[in-house]
């Protein structure tokens, strides 16, 4: 465990080298809030409620979902693995005396911990600047469920991106697919608009997918909605983590032998 | 005329070379189409969801919004086909001194850089965008006359030039600074925002920023407004003025930058 903690700590420190990036990372979180503020401001001029949201509860949703989607930085894992496999330097990870997946999970944890404070600060600043009457959950139990769901959701995204990354061993070039995945994930995690705006049948199907529980449901729980889904949500996302782990182990066993260390 | 003929011959050769290059990596040929196609499909689904809960956003109904998404997609698609991949490399070429190669060739460096990486794989995206626009016109139950269509095409052309100007302008800053990475991030953030949000949603300080300082807000909005008959004379004049000013600034920055360029030590 101490090895993984050391990896996480190293990546946490590495972030300090790019202070300008941290500042811009914080500044660019405003685009999502600005989008929400302008779009929903225009819509709420003519009505008070949209799909159960008031203007301020809608913006509170966006503040939280933007905060959570900013925290999720595992997209870099699949890109890194693809790049390393393609240029033959993935061996650097294979010779490490720790699990490769564990290494990337610790890396993600280090990065998330570093950005956590900055993203929270950015969220507070936007609440203040955009004068949002912030709506937040009152129940401690729901808050804990949401927090746990966020952590499991982040872990699931690490698993997913690790899985996609190692698929390079079979498919060789997956960068186009990764970009398409990023576009689709922004929709299905509810980071562009709340999923509740979609027809009920669509939402029912989305509940079967893990992405519903990564950003959308935690954001809804933290704004005091969908309480009845909190516990089942934890089970569903945990189940998906187990399924993904099985897929990772199977894929790694099957294709790791294809890696010859000389690049593609 | 002589210059035109020379440029035409260069362009033909660049296209031939590019096709040769693309055929080596066949899998990635339609990559940009699938990536941007999915992006605009997501956009359509998002507004489909929003409009299933509200009738109008400001003065625009669902049809107008679909036309907006189609127009933005069309501007983006044409840009991808013609010059996007070439322009993307400007900052890198300035930074590592590769610009020398372009300056020593008997053709305009910007002309060559812009057109050396055309992307025919994005042509299906152009077709898809036109289909989205027709679908939007059908949804809005519009029957635009020839005059409006001509106006729309005129604004599309103007805004295509404007899009190109903005891309070159941001990357020309590389002549004067160490890195333009942050500027490019800013461009990406603005494009992302304005792709989701038409100019009619901006007001006050936001309108000033996205209409005057970083005028990505007018890019797809003005063509749509001209098609749906929402464009005032003042707005039209402002649009043309903005394009002229930004074209002038881009030309100045580029030409001055070339003079300022000091090979790999730039």
What one-character-per-residue DSSP string does B104-168 give? Answer: TSSS-HHHHHHHTT--GGGHHHHHHHHHHHHHHHHHTT----HHHHHHHHHHHHHHHHHHHHHHH
Compute the mean pLDDT over every residue in chain A, rounded to the nearest whole number.
91
ipTM of the complex: 0.89
* φ and ψ at residue A9, rounded to 5 degrees: -65, -40
In a domain? residue B266: no
What one-character-per-residue DSSP string does A222-262 give? Answer: HTT--GGGHHHHHHHHHHHHHHHHHHHHHHHHHHGGG--SS
Q: Which residues of B touch A51 (CB under 8 A)?
A: 53
The closest alpha carbon to B216, from A184, A191, A34, belongs to A34
Q: Which residues of B touch A35 (CB under 8 A)?
A: 193, 196-197
On whether the CB atoms of residues B87 and B172 are closer than 8 A, the answer is no
| Count of domains forming chain B | 1
Distance of CA A224 to the CA centre of its chain: 21
Exposure string for B25-52, b = 16+ CB within 10 A, e = fewer:
eeeeebbbbbbbbbbbbbbbbbbebbbe
Amino acid B251: pLDDT: 95
User: Is B28 an 8 Å CB contact of chain A?
Assistant: yes
User: Is B50 an 8 Å CB contact of chain A?
Assistant: yes
User: Is B266's pLDDT higher than 50?
Assistant: no
Q: In sequence order, which ranges of chain A are alpha helices (DSSP H)?
A: 2-15, 19-28, 30-43, 55-71, 75-87, 91-94, 100-129, 140-166, 168-171, 175-188, 200-206, 216-222, 230-255
User: What sign for the dihedral angle of Cα B217, B223, B228, B230?
Assistant: positive
Q: Report the gap between the CA of B201 and the closest CA in chain A (Å).
A: 6
In a domain? residue B128: yes
Cα distance between the two ends of chain A: 34
Among B34, B35, B46, select the one facing A192 at the smallest CB separation: B46
% residues pLDDT > 90 (chain A): 67
Amino acid B138: pLDDT: 95
The closest alpha carbon to A156, from A95, A217, A92, A197, belongs to A217
CB contact under 8 A, A192 and B58: no
* φ and ψ at residue A119, rounded to 5 degrees: -65, -35
Q: Please compute the mean of the pLDDT values over residues B207-216 and round it to a whole number.
A: 93
On whether the CB atoms of residues A69 and A211 are closer than 8 A, the answer is no
Amino acid A22: pLDDT: 81
In a domain? residue B130: yes
**Domain range enclosing B155:** 2-260
Return the ∠ at Cα B52 (arms to B50 and B55), rounded to 5°.
85
- The size of chain A, in residues, is 264
User: Is B178's pLDDT higher than 90?
Assistant: no
Q: Please compute the mean of the pLDDT values over residues B85-99 and round it to a whole number.
A: 90
Amino acid B25: pLDDT: 62
Interface test with A, best of B196, B204, B208 (most A CBs within 10 A): B196
On whether the CB atoms of residues B124 and B118 are closer than 8 A, the answer is no
Amino acid A60: pLDDT: 95
Which residues, 6+ apart, have CB-to-CB distance to B68 below 8 Å? B60, B136, B198, B220, B221, B224
The closest alpha carbon to B60, from A42, A197, A49, belongs to A42
Q: Please compute the mean of the pLDDT values over residues A55-84 and round it to a whole number.
A: 92
Q: How many other CB atoms sit within 10 Å of the CB of residue B265?
A: 6
Amino acid A1: pLDDT: 82
Among A38, A43, A51, select the one facing B206 at the smallest CB separation: A38
Q: Please compute the mean of the pLDDT values over residues B203-211 and round it to a whole number.
A: 93
d(CA B165, CA B75): 13
d(CA B253, CA A57): 45
User: Is B29's pLDDT higher than 80?
Assistant: no
Higher-confidence residue: A171 or B167?
B167
In a domain? residue B265: no
Total CB pairs under 8 A between chain A and B? 74
pLDDT single digits (tens) A158-190: 999 999 999 988 887 788 888 999 999 999 999
Q: Which residues of A touch B53 (CB under 8 A)?
A: 50-51, 197
d(CA B4, CA B9): 9
Q: Which residues of B touch A197 (CB under 8 A)?
A: 49-50, 52-53
Q: Which token pair is B68?
A: 């907006």
On whether the CB atoms of residues A6 and A104 are closer than 8 A, the answer is no
User: Is A211's pLDDT higher than 70?
Assistant: yes
Q: Report the gap between the CA of B147 and the closest CA in chain A (Å).
A: 31
Amino acid B28: pLDDT: 67
d(CA B153, CA A164): 42
User: Is B217's pLDDT higher than 80?
Assistant: yes
Strand partners, B60: B57
pLDDT single digits (tens) B55-64: 899 889 999 9
Q: Report the gap between the CA of B171 and the closest CA in chain A (Å).
A: 18
Amino acid B261: pLDDT: 86
CB contact under 8 A, A20 and B56: no
User: Is B120's pLDDT higher than 90?
Assistant: no
Domain map of chain A by residue range? 2-258
- Ranking A33-47, A125-139, A169-183 by mean pLDDT, the lowest is A169-183
Element (DSSP H or E) covering residue B74: helix B62-82
Reported as a pLDDT band with limits 50, 70 and 90, residue B158 is very high
Q: Model's pTM, two decimal places?
A: 0.91
* φ and ψ at residue B180, rounded to 5 degrees: -115, 15
% residues pLDDT > 70 (chain A): 99
On whether the CB atoms of residues B124 and B33 are closer than 8 A, the answer is yes
What Rg value do the Cα atoms of chain A yield, rounded? Answer: 19
- Ranking A106-115, A127-136, A189-198, B10-19 by mean pLDDT, the lowest is B10-19
Q: Which token pair is B111?
A: 């002309």
CB-side neighbour CA atoms (13 Å) of B84: 17
d(CA A221, CA A227): 6
């Amino acid at each position: 465990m101490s090895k993984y903690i050391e990896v996480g700590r190293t990546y946490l420190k590495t972030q300090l080298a790019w202070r300008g990036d941290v500042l811009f990372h914080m500044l660019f979180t405003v685009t999502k809030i600005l989008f929400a503020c302008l779009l929903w401001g225009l819509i709420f001029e003519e009505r008070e409620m949209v799909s159960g949201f008031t203007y301020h509860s809608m913006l509170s949703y966006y503040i939280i979902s933007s905060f959570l989607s900013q925290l999720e930085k595992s997209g870099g894992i699949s890109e890194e693995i693809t790049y390393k496999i393609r240029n033959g330097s993935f061996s650097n990870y294979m010779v490490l005396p720790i699990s490769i997946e564990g290494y990337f999970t610790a890396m993600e944890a280090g990065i998330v911990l570093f950005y956590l404070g900055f993203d929270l600060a950015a969220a507070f600043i936007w609440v203040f600047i955009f004068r949002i009457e912030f709506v937040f959950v009152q129940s401690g139990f729901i808050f804990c469920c949401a927090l746990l769901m966020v952590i499991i959701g982040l872990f699931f995204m690490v698993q997913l991106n690790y899985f996609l990354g190692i698929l390079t061993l079979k498919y060789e070039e997956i960068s186009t697919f990764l970009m398409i995945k990023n576009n689709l994930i922004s929709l299905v995690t509810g980071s562009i608009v709340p999923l509740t705006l979609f027809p009920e049948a669509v939402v029912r199907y989305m509940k079967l997918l893990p992405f519903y529980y990564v950003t959308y449901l935690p954001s809804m729980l933290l704004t005091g909605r969908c309480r009845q889904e909190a516990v089942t949500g934890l089970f569903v996302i945990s189940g998906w983590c187990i399924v993904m782990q099985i897929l990772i182990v199977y894929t790694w066993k099957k294709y790791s032998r294809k890696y010859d260390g000389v690049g593609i | 005329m002589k210059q035109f003929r020379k440029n035409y011959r260069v362009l033909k050769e660049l296209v031939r070379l590019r096709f040769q290059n693309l055929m080596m990596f066949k899998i990635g040929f339609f990559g940009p189409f699938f990536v941007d196609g999915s992006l605009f499909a997501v956009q359509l689904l998002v507004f489909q969801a929003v409009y299933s809960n509200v009738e109008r956003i400001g003065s625009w109904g669902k049809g107008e919004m679909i036309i907006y998404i189609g127009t933005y997609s069309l501007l983006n698609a044409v840009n991808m086909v013609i010059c996007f991949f070439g322009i993307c490399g400007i900052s890198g070429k300035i930074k590592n001194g590769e610009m020398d190669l372009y300056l020593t060739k008997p053709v305009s460096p910007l002309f060559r850089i812009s057109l050396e990486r055309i992307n025919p794989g994005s042509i299906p995206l152009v077709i898809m965008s036109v289909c989205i626009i027709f679908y939007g016109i059908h949804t809005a139950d519009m029957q635009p006359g020839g005059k409006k269509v001509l106006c729309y095409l005129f604004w599309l052309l103007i805004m295509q030039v404007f899009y190109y100007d903005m891309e070159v302008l941001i990357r020309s800053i590389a002549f004067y600074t160490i890195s333009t990475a942050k500027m490019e991030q800013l461009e990406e953030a603005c494009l992302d925002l304005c792709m989701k949000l038409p100019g009619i949603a901006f007001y006050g300080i936001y309108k000033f920023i996205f209409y005057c300082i970083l005028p990505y807000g007018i890019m797809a909005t003005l063509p749509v407004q001209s098609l749906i008959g929402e464009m005032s004379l003042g707005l039209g004049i402002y649009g043309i003025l903005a394009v002229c000013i930004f074209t002038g600034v881009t030309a100045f920055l580029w030409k001055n930058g070339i003079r300022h360029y000091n090979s790999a030590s730039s």
